[in-house]
Copies of this chain bind each other. A is one copy, B any other.
């Protein structure tokens, strides 16, 4: 079990990508015709509008929620016409799904890149926590966005799959560590919920108090949560 878990995690970051199964790529991501794509090099890619739209939408979804945000508002903030959004995304729903996947994968890559599969659990835990902290600090709204849309009904199957793959990876790490007697026994889901929830709770407490989270806060919290889950 332990070995399986480690093997599963070795190329963890890579495994988050879409499974190349049947009917996998048509879902709802891309518009009928993606603009320009023109030059192999040079020409600044026309995708900077796509990015502007995604950035604006992400911010607004965080501020007001999905249904609370009007598409023309997104267009305004992105500095494009309302119609332009539909050149890049099939619908508002496709847009939120594209953002979700992009951010979830970005999070996965930051957190899981070169994961030290052979290290002791104490070090793995510290690394995971601190990488999550780094991501959450650098991309605060992205992190809040992911939390907010964690299980929204407008997420499609592919977006849910990205989430599930990530959860599965963590679960294997936890089960392995439990088997080695380095983590408390008990339902792995509960332990992970505890840790992830606590992490979110720290961010939320600081957002609420309009305070920034310092390195010291993160270290304190990390120490606390390690003591929470260690065997």
Contacts and interface: CB of A to CB of B under 8 A. Distances in A.
Interface of A: 63-68, 150-153, 167, 184, 186-187, 189-209, 211, 213, 217, 220-221, 224-225, 227-229
A155 to B, nearest CB: 13
A187 B217 contact: yes
19 contacts: A65-B67, A68-B153, A189-B206, A189-B211, A190-B213, A190-B217, A191-B224, A193-B201, A193-B203, A193-B205, A194-B221, A195-B198, A197-B198, A197-B199, A197-B202, A197-B204, A200-B200, A200-B201, A201-B201
A65 to B, nearest CB: 6
A213 B197 CA distance: 16
Contact of A193 (B66, B68, B204): B204
B189 A224 contact: no
A220 B64 contact: no
Contacts of A184: 220, 224
